[in-house]
Structure 1
Amino acid sequence: MMAALATFRTMTSIAMLAGLAAAAVFLAGASAIQGDFIALACLAGACLVPPALLFSERALAWDGRFAYGMIVILVIILSAVFRLRAIDDKSIDGQILLKLLAIGLTGLMAATGLARIEGRRHTMALFVWCAFLTYTMMTAFITATPALALVETGSNLAAFLLLYCAACLLGRSNLVKVMIASCFVLGLMSLAAYAAMPALGRMSDWVNGAFIPTWRLQGVFGTANAAGGAAAIGIILTLLLSDLRENRMLCLVLLAVFGLCLVFSNNRMAMTGLAAALVYANWVKGNQALKLALVILAAGLALSAYLAAGDELFQFLSRSGSAEEITSGTGRTRIWAVVLQLWSEQPLLGYGAGSAKYILPKNPALFTAAAHAHNLYLNILFTGGAVGLLLFLWGLVLALRQAGQRRDHGTIALIIFFMVYGITEPTMGGMVSFVPMAFYLAAILALSLHRPPLETKGGPRTGPAIPRQALP
């Protein structure tokens, strides 16, 4: 009797699914014949809802491969820009709605992940970083647009906690591969946009009185500097923090994509930060006396070249042919002076998260493109005041100290990149994207190194195998 009932239920389910499939095929055919492609697209989207819900449910349960894939998707959605918008354009469109959905899923996944991690595994440094990011959210209430600032700062806190949960639940190796995979996909899309859609894929600038696309790549990252920073990060992660070098062909493909994005973006500070990270990584391998001699020789040659033909050298290095572009950091020195002057008027708490894009462009000494301080440390000082900067530096020192104690030179090299890159770029301060997430990755790797990935509550992980190491 029970067997017959089970068979009946199975046959009923099959019949219902067959009926739904037949109805879907009929509606799709009718829509195609009538040329109603909007209805056809809605029908196709409806068919994707059940597998998407199943995938999301398994990802929220931190089932290994599903969680891995979901994080890659979230990083790509949060980082990619498919429609260029003016700085003052705050309208809600499909792109914004998709990003808001991604932020919500990021926060939800971080919450379910934190529930699976034992409290004893958390370190003091984690609470300092959370305090810093929470403080930035609190400063949103003193800025001109609190709602927007809360979304931006909340997205950063959610992304940080998601990456931290991934380090604990999926493991350090998988977390690094998540970021490499995301950066690779973003890089491929950027190169495709660079070739096929110049208006999107190339940075526009004023040339002979017209605002036209230049040869610099910005791809789907939104800006050329973000594209160059992400590409340099991808190179560091691949060479210094992953085991992908063992697969030579894959490693070469990754480095080729990242290298092309870096070169075409012409982001000089990203190249400088990458060089500093690679020099450090090579320096710690030994034979420091010879390397020090080579550094001194290189510095001497550079100084001699500057003394002999400083202006000509700067003109060659600049994009515009003007030496002043190099000496002023492409106008950044003016921005820094204004930022420090304004900060001195409100030194303790600053002007609030996201306030720079409303205050700096209106300053008579600056210009409309000065939407942030163009410096990581000054941007934090301007928006969060002395309190925000002290919390940030405290977290940075703790991360460097823990990575140094464990001799995790790959992570230290990544942090060095951001310390150099941050001299001319804000790194974080708006809606979360790849570069700030990679910065949080550096801090998290320093905090979570050597901690074994946890088993999920739903059973053993199904993600890629990770060696279990002893707790420190």
Structure 2
Amino acid sequence: MKLFTNDQTAPETRMSAPVRRGPMLLAWVILVIFCLLGPFMSYSGLPGTGEGSPVRQAGYLTVFLLALYSSRPIADPKGLLVVPVAIAVALGWVWLSIAWALDPGIALRRAFLTTTIIWSIFAIVRRIGVDQPLMIARVLLVALLLINIAVSILFPDIGVHSVNEPADKGLIGDWRGIMTHKNFAGPTVALLILMFVFDARRIPMALRVIVIAAASYFLYRSGSKTSAGMVVSALAIGSLFLYYKGKGRNFIIILTCLAGMGAAIAAYLYKDPLAGNFTDERSFTGRPLIWKALTSYWSDHPWLGSGFGSFWNIGPQGPIYRYATGWVTEVATGHNGFLDLLATVGVPGLILILAATVVIPVFTLLSRADVNAQRNALMASILFFCIGHNATESTLFDRDAIPEVFLMFAIAAIMNMESSRFTRSRRAAVPRTP
């Protein structure tokens, strides 16, 4: 028997002070819209565009203030402690790294944005549950899909790649919609597919099929190999959570996760393994040249790194200019979030972040695999997709990156369900007064 079918009515998801639901839901709507349109906003010529855009910063500050106001901090100050201890510790290391950051000002701004977004997501899920935010995310992702398809077909000069890039050959003809690059567009449709496959029983089947088909077609036309490979593996992981009840279930799920991630990455890197030249650093879309620069810097600074957010896009003092030449110095990320974290927060930081975002959530899911199987399947698939996607695109602990936002949402949902189960079991253990 499931603990509950609609977490909006589960008493253990509520805190002592009644939440202001309207402002909290508005905060979630703004957060998701800014997250999804971040690449477009950065490209649109707004003042201070890119990572220093005051418009985006004001938007996320509004989200934070709305979530803070909705939490009634004066009536329930303990209600502000919504972030799990493991993630709080990882964020603590991020903030500590500002002390040795190559550019403390940029590091401070990026750490603040990352922290406020993470806190806002956990506050929203902890206060109002998962169902409404999940449905809002579905609606916004469907709307974005329709816009991206329309722009790609009607305005191909905007919605379709027309030139190649040094680090990504073969872009011409790939759909991107309003997302400026297929690597931004791919995750949005992949996450949409997962959200309409799992835990979507209240959505009419015909609508689910149409949305999944449209999203799959756009994903195919985008040529986003990372997202395509990871979403197939994520569907397999979610299906195991949902249907497999045999012996050694946890071992099989973990093994499938590792195999799926490896297969997806291999399919991306080795498009033609029989013809590929594995010794050419310019093969595999040039990633090895970028990764070589990152690993070289990390080997020189293994424990502390450059400081959070202080490797890429910090001006001429950036380490990349000393560890690479040519087009590599012009890329914006390391295209591998694990290596980026190694280079910026060192070994301790990477361990803390992986423990908080991978190890603890996975073991929490495995420990409650038979409770609310549909929800577990969805969150497991999102968790796997976002972590796996980080192997070829840097998104983990990267402010408002699309996979980062939905990863934190999945972790918040997992921890919220676990807190609900703990509260129920503790209540059941208290003897009732006759």
Task: Verify same fold: TM over 0.5.
Answer: yes
Which residue of 212, 222, 225 maps to 1:255?
212
Stretch of structure 1 that moved more, 231-240 or 253-262: 253-262
Q: Which residue matches 1:276?
A: 233
Q: Give the superposition deviation at 1:164.
A: 1.0
Letter in 2 for 1:352: G
Matched, 1:230 2:194: no
Which residue of 397, 410, 426 maps to 1:442?
410
Q: Give the superposition deviation at 1:384.
A: 0.8
* C-alpha contact (below 8 Å) 1:356/1:371 kept by paired residues: no
- Percent identity among equivalent residues? 18
Q: Which residue matches 2:360?
A: 398
Q: Deviations over 1:101-127 (max 9, x none)?
A: 11211221232345376748968x712
Which residue of 309, 324, 328 maps to 1:364?
324
Q: Give the superposition deviation at 1:259.
A: 2.2
Letter in 2 for 1:237: M
Q: Which residue matches 2:295?
A: 340
Q: Deviations over 1:310-361 (max 9, x none)?
A: x994489x9xxx8889994322122222211110111111112222323336
Q: Give the superposition deviation at 1:257.
A: 4.2
Letter in 2 for 1:401: F
Q: Superposed, which structure 2 residues align to 1:148-227 within 5 Å?
A: 148-203=106-161, 205-206=163-164, 214-227=172-185
Matched, 1:97 2:65: no
Q: Does the residue aligned with 1:331 lie in a helix, a strand or coil?
A: helix
Matched, 1:329 2:284: yes
Matched, 1:373 2:334: yes
Letter in 2 for 1:449: M
Q: Deviations over 1:73-96 (max 9, x none)?
A: 33212431335649xx99625992
Provide the rounded CA distance (Å) in 1 between the counterparts of 2:401 and 2:165: 29
Letter in 2 for 1:163: I
Q: Deviations over 1:184-212 (max 9, x none)?
A: 2332332333234445433453389xx99
Letter in 2 for 1:392: I
* C-alpha contact (below 8 Å) 2:192/2:215 kept by paired residues: yes
* C-alpha contact (below 8 Å) 2:226/2:389 kept by paired residues: yes
Q: Superposed, which structure 2 residues align to 1:23-62 within 5 Å?
A: none
Provide the rounded CA distance (Å) in 2 between the counterparts of 1:451 and 1:421: 28
Provide the rounded CA distance (Å) in 2 between the counterparts of 1:113 and 1:376: 33
Letter in 1 for 2:207: L
Provide the rounded CA distance (Å) in 1 between the counterparts of 2:383 and 2:48: 35
Provide the rounded CA distance (Å) in 2 between the counterparts of 1:371 and 1:416: 24
Provide the rounded CA distance (Å) in 2 between the counterparts of 1:444 and 1:238: 20
Letter in 2 for 1:273: M
Gaps of 5+ in 1: 1-60, 454-468
Letter in 2 for 1:92: G
Provide the rounded CA distance (Å) in 1 between the counterparts of 2:23 and 2:411: 25
Stretch of structure 1 that moved more, 378-387 or 411-420: 411-420
CA distance 1:144–1:162, change in 2 (3 Å)? same
Q: Which residue matches 2:310?
A: 355
Provide the rounded CA distance (Å) in 1 between the counterparts of 2:77 and 2:402: 28
RMSD: 4.0
Q: Which residue matches 2:12?
A: none
Stretch of structure 1 that moved more, 416-425 or 198-207: 198-207
Letter in 2 for 1:409: A
Letter in 2 for 1:359: P
* C-alpha contact (below 8 Å) 1:149/1:354 kept by paired residues: yes
Provide the rounded CA distance (Å) in 1 between the counterparts of 2:239 and 2:383: 15
TM-score by length of 1: 0.67
Provide the rounded CA distance (Å) in 2 between the counterparts of 1:131 and 1:151: 19
Q: Which residue matches 2:350?
A: 389
Gaps of 5+ in 2: 1-17, 313-317, 370-375, 427-434
Provide the rounded CA distance (Å) in 2 between the counterparts of 1:231 and 1:151: 30
The higher radius of gyration belongs to: 1
Which residue of 22, 28, 40 maps to 1:82?
40
CA distance 1:251–1:113, change in 2 (3 Å)? same
TM-score by length of 2: 0.72
Provide the rounded CA distance (Å) in 2 between the counterparts of 1:207 and 1:330: 9
Provide the rounded CA distance (Å) in 1 between the counterparts of 2:205 and 2:178: 27
Q: Deviations over 1:339-392 (max 9, x none)?
A: 111101111111122223233366335624432221121111111111210111
Q: Give the superposition deviation at 1:253.
A: 4.1
CA distance 1:323–1:385, change in 2 (3 Å)? closer
* C-alpha contact (below 8 Å) 1:140/1:149 kept by paired residues: yes
Q: Give the superposition deviation at 1:142.
A: 3.8
Letter in 1 for 2:361: A
Provide the rounded CA distance (Å) in 1 between the counterparts of 2:154 and 2:105: 36
Provide the rounded CA distance (Å) in 1 between the counterparts of 2:123 and 2:425: 17
Q: Does the residue aligned with 1:110 lie in a helix, a strand or coil?
A: helix
Provide the rounded CA distance (Å) in 1 between the counterparts of 2:104 and 2:43: 20
